[in-house]
Amino acid sequence: MTAGDRATAYRPRRDPLWFARTRTYTLFVLRELTSVFVAWSIVFLLMLVDAVLGGSLERFADLAARPWMIAVNVVALAATVFHTITFLNLAPKATVVRLDGYRLPAWMIQGGNHSLWLAVSAVIAFFVLRGFR
């Protein structure tokens, strides 16, 4: 037996659904997959900006009003919200905040992140909804 034969003699079977056995792994993989929908949201927003600047807003509105496009954007919104919540919940693991040598508890960092997200969303909603009057 040569060295190359010994290296390929044992090949363990790979389970394609390895992440489905554990809840934390499943949530991790789902959060990573939602990045595709976050990217779609960015592309859609850039298409809107291009339509506004290029003068083709009516054509963009016709595209955005199609049922399949509405369905894609509703799924993208749900995926983006899931991605955001899970990302903000991971912040205490990546960020250590100390005040006078005392480490802030995770719920304070998460609460601050979620509160800021809610405040920024409320300000954006105020200006967007005000424009519809």
Q: Tokens 């809840």 identify what position?
A: 23
Which residue type occupies 112?
Answer: G
More confident residue, 132 or 79: 79
pLDDT band at 1 (very low <50, low <70, confident <90, very high): low
Positive or negative torsion for Cα 53, 58, 59, 63 = positive
pLDDT > 70: percent of the chain: 93
C-alpha 10, offset from chain centre = 39
Contact at 8 Å (CB) between 89 and 27? no
Contact at 8 Å (CB) between 74 and 56? no
Q: Per DSSP, which regions of 1-133 are E strands?
A: 98-99, 102-103
Q: Which domains does the chain have, with CATH numbers?
A: 17-94 (1.20.1300.10), 96-133 (no CATH)
pLDDT > 90: percent of the chain: 55
| pLDDT beyond 90 at 4 | no
The predicted model scores a pTM of 0.75
Alpha-carbon gap, residue 79 to 70, rounded angstroms: 14
Q: Over the stretch 35-47, which tens digit does the pLDDT of each residue have?
A: 999 999 999 999 9
